[in-house]
Structure 1
């Protein structure tokens, strides 16, 4: 068997014009083994270009080896052999484009034939570039390179009040610890047959009514076709009474129903592929067990639109929510998203409804850029009715797609049991840490890993678990996209081997794999402009000394130092409301937060005068307040550069404000309110966090995002590492809703 000699490590260089490129090189560990074909990884490289030109990849290595680079440009892999130079080194110039990021995997081969085999695998979509489609015949067996600890980088990379505490904060005592929820029931997964076709560009972005820019060619070489989409439901629906939700897809602009209003939107579809139209429901159920996904095609003529009807039944009085997504497999990120809602009236009020009164809703069209569609993705679509949640989960890594459907008969109980277990783990940490901090940290990591692995087994299913585990060392910047499942702490979910897959002592939490979230129908800007006069940072100085968080004020100081200007503040809820009304670019709150059990139910952040003993509502700001101050904005149309003045950044560095609480007829919590209200990036905490470790997370995040101008994906990952090194769970407590490519850009 051919083997690679002991080639020197640390031999890879990437050189570009001064100031023209930003380079990050992750060398393989010294003991990284070659595979059975004699291929060894030398380094993974990320090159971001600030100007169009070239970057030179140079390897100073052994003369008897052969060298190559796998270059990933906008999700397309190219195999490049390096040329031998007179001095013995090997090198190759790689073209770079302004504001683009390249990903290179540099390898050494024992023979030219070994590189030829590798080149063939790359052309098939292997080596982390995707792999075969489900319906395609398996490629020749070429073992993956075991990279050891190396990571294939696919992207640029509370105290008594339930808040942060000066020490290790226990989880807030807000809800009695529930009895263990019933185990999730696995529902039969639909049989999705993927066509034999290579993945190509996703359609480009579309705004309200304008022609959507996009690639010249579609998935199979066909030009993307613009089409209009809309949906219609009655303006008033009655509990227990079935009604029709009508979804339309047309090549021509659709006329409004008489007496209604609508907005014009369109997206681009590949005419050679089927279109899957799916509905996700809250407070509603499909009548008669009808399927939630219908497969259709683009209309052939402009005068014959596709008309799809979903028969739905409302649960109980409240509000019903419908999310409609349009996808074209194997791309799992929606090409368009429609969000509809209507009040559900009691049966005795049905007589007050006007006959045939309907309204048309054309909500935000979410068309992902190619860089996002090609990232590793978990798509989680949820329908929630009568407390029962049905999760349709799709995992996509490269071209490989896996599906699983799971039912949670008591969703609220299942989620609370997870947080109760996290509370137990935290409660056991503090006394043990006083005697042996290192041992306590190891115990915490082991217990959380066990909990995260349990969630993976219960929710993801064998097919998805097997895929993610097989790609675990090559997954970076994982995107979780969802119609509204934001209750489960996916950041702590830990990858697990299936069947005969080998165990691994290393940790693979989804949070540590660069997990960011996106909720359908909400803004996802890639540029967030920051005007220093529109930056607000709040760290309350609590009147009650028991609530004091001395390290929280460091977060405000960090922001001011990096912006070279002290940020504005808000002393109480009234001033915060004024800030929101006036408009802001960045809002940072460092203080206490909690879930509120007394009316009004929901989340709240506590200002200086807040006291648990005399809670009259004047010292806190609730998610209900935010819903009033920041009503749903619908589409947020950005500038040509991807920025949007109406899509600012919110960071609530307070515990329990990063997750939502499930409800049969609606969502709740700051994350949902701010995102639905037009915020482009939201970061919050899912449970109680330590004051000192949280400050380290925040400081590291802003130093990378503002000081080094890194993407939010890179900055969040650096912040998680900083918090993790402190030996605490805080690194996984932060929940991030953002495009991982987004950047904060001071003006």
Structure 2
């Protein structure tokens, strides 16, 4: 059993530099079972305490004393960090469980797990017999793979659909009979594919389908990682992550094969015209992207059709930081400045299209520009602004430029390992607007969002303090969150980028961990409208870190800006967006229309926003 399967998420994460009084209040309000203290200097250390132990250490500490001093933190006393996909059977008795640098849980054999709020899920173990013809049937995606593999050995990964719901973290959901489930295998660490990495399964009345077989070669000693992604007509259904260990040839291996089960998500009735899956990997020692395109129109013959790979000669995050900094420095004082800025933006979008999109895919997208309306981009990295790629093609031997992707189509993004959430509700919205932001349009935006309240919708102001915001997030009561204020990016860890609250208090993506992840119970739409005062220099917002954390917590949609935008257009964008959404327009189209509304203002704000959602999701 992997650690992430047994780790508790009933913790609260504190920073070592915070005041002891604030830490004590937070623990008392959130009532976690455990407290994790994160120290970042001289390097990352974590310290794990039971709730009572942490409160005891804080009981006599002065209010303004740092947690570091109150707990007397030393490197030698740090709690070990444990990989999420390490074996629970061989783990130490206590540890902080991390996945790709994110804290996801605690492992403590001395304290039994405490049941907390649960997301609504189908009942387990039900076979759903006697369904009407054409009705939904429950199935689960199942994999079978060895726990240990010899270096250079080639082994088979089996993937099938099962009618049984076995004990474990996954739950089956109902899918229509005859539904095709497309499977993509993505080696992440320690393995390479030998042969094809994709295949299809079909929902039938059999107890278990014949498995797909994929061959993987072990190439690197140590913990490996293989991801199995599932789709239907380009829609993400979920993912399974396998973590086999690669051992030397001379070492005996455990012949046991581990079976994993993962729920497949409910399918949306409507599907986008194009779904573009972008997978990051290494090619000849360089970071690279491979693209897989699916079209709703079967006549196009596109179902996870492969394009690429495209090799990147630079670090994607660094490239995007430089890309946005170039936009930030564009002068916009005069009409001529704005005209020049428009041309420079067009050139940057065209260059991005040329550099990151394979040539044959460029040609195809250009040919389809008048035949499609909605586009969904699914990528694991949230940094590259795919929305800002500018279409171009050739006509009569001349290069012709088209619109930006987000201008041409109702375009959204998503993370491929998370199933779509096609419905938004907005029945109980939370509004966070710091009183001391100094933003001229903040009060107007606040009043507008408050005006959205009616007989069927509540809008509640949450005091813009760290304690109040985290407490409200933890409650899981709000299906809409609107933040207005300042944001900032902190390299190299985007999970420490900040939204400024009142009195310069900061909320960071890593604060959305532990019990605060209950924010996802209501599957909210989250809108971070990070603004700036006047025409000063803009700053990056690290929006990718926010998007990933909110979506993994269970948010149905996330909207934010790649860089800190100007106050007036940000206000107008928000108003246009909500007007369209609440009139019944799908979110992808609503964002497209909101961009067009503020484009005439003449600054880059209309291109700044990124949206993670099902593009056809509507407010019910």
Structure 1 unaligned runs (5+)?
1-205, 217-222, 611-618, 637-644, 661-668
Distance of 1:480 and 1:213 partners within structure 2: 36
What is the match of residue 57 of structure 2? none
1:486 Cα deviation from its structure 2 partner:
2.8
Q: For residue 419 of structure 1, report the CA deviation from its aligned partner.
A: 3.8
Shift in alpha-carbon separation, 1:277–1:715, aligned structure 2, 3 A: closer
C-alpha separation in 1, matches of 2:135 and 2:168? 30
Is the counterpart of residue 577 in structure 1 residue 485 in structure 2?
no
Which among 554, 566, 569 is matched to residue 678 of structure 1?
554
The offset of 1:571, in angstroms, is 2.4
Aligned position for 1:484? 380
C-alpha deviation, 1:693, in angstroms = 1.6
Shift of 1:409: 4.3
Contact persistence 2:557–2:612 (CA under 8 A): yes
The question of 1:627 aligning with 2:516 is answered: no
Alpha-carbon distance, 1:317 to partner: 7.4
The answer as to whether partners of 2:410 and 2:592 remain within 8 angstroms in 1 is: yes
CA separation of 1:699 and 1:317: change in aligned 2, threshold 3 A: farther
Structure 2: distance between partners of 1:622 and 1:304: 44
Distance in 2, Cα, partners of 1:511 & 1:248: 39
Show the counterpart of 2:192.
286
2:323 counterpart of 1:421: yes
Aligned to 2:369: 472
Larger radius of gyration: 1
Scaled by the length of structure 2, the TM-score of the pair is: 0.66
Could you tell me how far apart the structure 1 residues matched to 2:402 and 2:453 are? 38
Give yes or no for contact 1:231–1:246 (8 Å, CA) kept in 2. no
**Counterparts in 2 of 1:2-401, with a 5 A limit?**
228-232=139-143, 246-250=157-161, 253-254=163-164, 256=166, 262-265=170-173, 267-268=175-176, 270=178, 276-283=182-189, 285-287=191-193, 289-294=194-199, 302=207, 305-311=210-216, 313=218, 320=225, 322-327=227-232, 332-334=233-235, 337-341=237-241, 356=256, 358=258, 360-369=260-269, 371-372=270-271, 375-385=272-282, 388-394=287-293, 396=295, 398=297, 399-401=299-301
Equivalent position SS for 2:447: helix
Separation in 1, partners of 2:212, 2:343: 52
Q: Secondary structure at the match of 1:537?
A: strand
Tell me the SS of whatever aligns to 1:405.
strand
Offset of residue 671 of structure 1? 0.9
Secondary structure class of the residue paired with 2:279 = strand
CA 1:484–1:597 in 2, change beyond 3 Å: closer, same or farther? closer
Q: Which has the higher helix share?
A: 2
In structure 1, the residue matched to 2:21 is none
Question: Residue 221 of structure 2 contacts residue 247 of structure 2 at CA under 8 Å; is this kept in 1?
Answer: no
Q: 2:484 aligns with which of 565, 574, 590?
A: 590
Deviates most, 491-500 or 554-563: 491-500
- Change in 2 beyond 3 A, CA 1:397/1:270: closer
What is the CA–CA distance in structure 1 between the aligned matches of 2:359 and 2:137, rounded to whole Å?
A: 38
Larger RCO (CA within 8 A; separation ≥ 6): 1
Structure 1 position 307, deviation (Å): 4.6
How far 1:401 sits from its partner (Å)? Answer: 4.5
Q: Which runs of 5 or more residues in structure 2 are unaligned? A: 1-120, 531-538
Q: Does 1:452 align with 2:345?
A: no
Q: Are the equivalent residues in 2 in contact too, given 1:210–1:265 (CA < 8 A)?
A: no
TM superposition shift of 1:572: 2.0
Matched residue, 2:3: none
1:510 to 406, 409, 418: 406
Distance (whole Å) between structure 2 residues aligned to residue 467 and residue 213 of structure 1: 45
Whether 1:554 and 2:460 are equivalent positions in the alignment is no
CA distance in 2, matches of 1:609, 1:388: 42
Q: Distance in 1 between matches of 2:136 and 2:368?
A: 34
Separation in structure 2 between the aligned mates of residue 377 and residue 324 of structure 1, nearest angstrom: 18
Shift of 1:426: 2.9
For the 8 Å contact 1:604–1:623, the answer to whether it is kept is yes
Q: Is the 8 A contact 1:237 1:314 kept in 2?
A: no
Note if contact 1:228-1:249 (Cα within 8 Å) is conserved in structure 2: no
Following the alignment from structure 2 to structure 1, what is the Cα–Cα distance between the partners of residues 253 and 474? 35
Aligned partner of 1:608 in structure 2 is 502
2:337 partner SS: helix
Deviations 1:297-355 (A, max 9, x none): 6779546632534526587978846242244xxxx424x6342236688979x999987
Q: Report the CA distance between 1:497 and its aligned residue.
A: 0.8
Contact 1:483 1:520 in 2 (8 A): yes
Give the TM-score, by structure 1 length: 0.55
Instruction: Give 1:489 shift.
Output: 0.5
What CA distance in whole angstroms lies between the structure 1 residues aligned with 2:432 and 2:484?
6
Partner of 1:692: 568
What is the rounded CA distance, in whole Å, between the counterparts of 2:217 and 2:387 in structure 1? 33
Shift of 1:694: 1.4
Q: Post-superposition shift, 1:566?
A: 5.6
Deviations 1:37-64 (A, max 9, x none): xxxxxxxxxxxxxxxxxxxxxxxxxxxx
User: CA offsets per residue over residues 112-168 of structure 1, 9 Å max, x none?
Assistant: xxxxxxxxxxxxxxxxxxxxxxxxxxxxxxxxxxxxxxxxxxxxxxxxxxxxxxxxx
Q: Are 2:412 and 1:495 equivalent residues in the alignment?
A: no
Deviations, residues 390-413 of structure 1 (Å, cap 9, x unaligned)? 322315373324545333544762
- Secondary structure of the 2:278 match is strand
Which whole-Å CA distance do the structure 1 matches of 2:468 and 2:484 have between them? 16
C-alpha separation in 2, matches of 1:212 and 1:522: 28
Q: How many matched pairs?
A: 480
Q: Distance in 2 between matches of 1:245 and 1:678?
A: 33
The RMSD of aligned alpha carbons is 4.2
Give SS of 1:378's match: strand
Q: Which residue in 2 is equivalent to 1:736?
A: 611
2:55 maps to none
- Aligned residue number for residue 581 of structure 2: 705
